[in-house]
Amino acid sequence: MRIHLAGVFVDDQQKALRFYTETLGFQLKHNIPLGEFSWITVVSPEDPEGTEFLLEPDNHPAVRPFVDAIVADGIPSTSFAVDDVHAEYDRLVAAGVKFVQPPTDLGPVITAVLDDTCGNLIQIQEQKPQP
Amino acid sequence: MDVYRAIADPTRRAILDELVDRSGQSLFELCARLTMKHGINSSRQAIAQHLGVLEAAGLIRTRRVGRSKLHWYQGDPLKAIAERWPIATDERDT
């Protein structure tokens, strides 16, 4: 068994597609119109055949209360791996991205948390080399 | 809740340490720091209760920033203690 799909609920799929591609730097993989909404997935340019990330509409009534509650406590919807959290932080802040947590050294990892503008907090994480 | 009882607990002192390190943290960030830096693996609910005690004692304040609730250290109650029992006293001169 493999993990081929993960994702987040977003308040606007087209806005989310722009943020996840133009700002974060992922690549569009699928954009299949399905009536009111679309099946939209992105992939990392470093791993275009790897796990797809689904930008799922948040129209189910349970989604907003759930996401609002975890955002209130600062809990990210998911986490992406980066080589250098500080470099990504500088690049994304320059692109206008808001961070709720700047790069923080937590021992084995360095993390930061950003707002994806579509309803979610997203963690980026750098694994330090193991001694 | 008085300030003495609030700082009598080691987890609450660790929370204050982390808020002094960086002001304006969410519950998530605080819990991550307590786990990774202090080995404190209390539940989020337990940490939220500790935060409530610290807030009642005036040692932290909270504010919603954007859609998240953030926490700040507030030193006034400890300053009041230092003023009540000043560090520089006559006993040094005797």
Q: Which residues of A touch B33 (CB under 8 A)?
A: 104, 106
Answer whether residue B29 is part of any domain. Answer: yes
Answer whether residue B91 is part of any domain. Answer: no
Answer whether residue B90 is part of any domain. Answer: no
Q: Which residues of A touch B22 (CB under 8 A)?
A: 102, 104
Say if residue B90's pLDDT is above 70. Answer: no
Answer whether residue B25 is part of any domain. Answer: yes
Answer whether residue B66 is part of any domain. Answer: yes
- Mean pLDDT along residues A35-47: 97
| pLDDT > 70 fraction of chain A, expressed in percent and rounded | 100
Q: Between A94 and B85, whose confidence is greater?
A: A94
Q: What is the pLDDT of residues A3-16, one digit of tens each?
A: 999 999 999 999 99
Q: Which residues of B touch A71 (CB under 8 A)?
A: 67-68
Of A74, A102, A109, the CB nearest to B68: A74
Written as one letter, the residue type at A82 is: V
Answer whether residue B87 is part of any domain. Answer: no
Answer whether residue B72 is part of any domain. Answer: yes
Q: How far is B4 from chain A (nearest CA, A)?
A: 27
A27: Cβ–Cβ under 8 A, 6 or more apart, which residues? Answer: A21, A42, A43, A44, A45, A48
Interface pTM, i.e. ipTM: 0.88
Please tell me which residue of chain A has the smallest CA distance to B47: A73
How far is residue B15's CA from residue B6's CA, in Å, rounded to a whole number?
11
Query: What CATH number corresponds to the domain at position B21?
Result: 1.10.10.10
Determine the structural domain holding residue B60 and report its residue range: 3-81
Answer whether residue B22 is part of any domain. Answer: yes
Q: Which of A35, A69, A39, A78 is nearest to A55 (CA)?
A: A39
Give me the long-range contacts of B50-55 (CB less than 8 A, separation at least 24). B50/B9, B50/B11, B50/B12, B50/B15, B51/B15, B51/B27, B53/B1, B53/B5, B53/B6, B53/B9, B53/B12, B54/B6, B54/B12, B54/B15, B54/B16
How far is residue A19's CA from residue B79's CA, in Å, rounded to a whole number?
46
For residue A131, the model assigns a pLDDT of 74
Considering its fold, how many domains does chain B have in total? 1
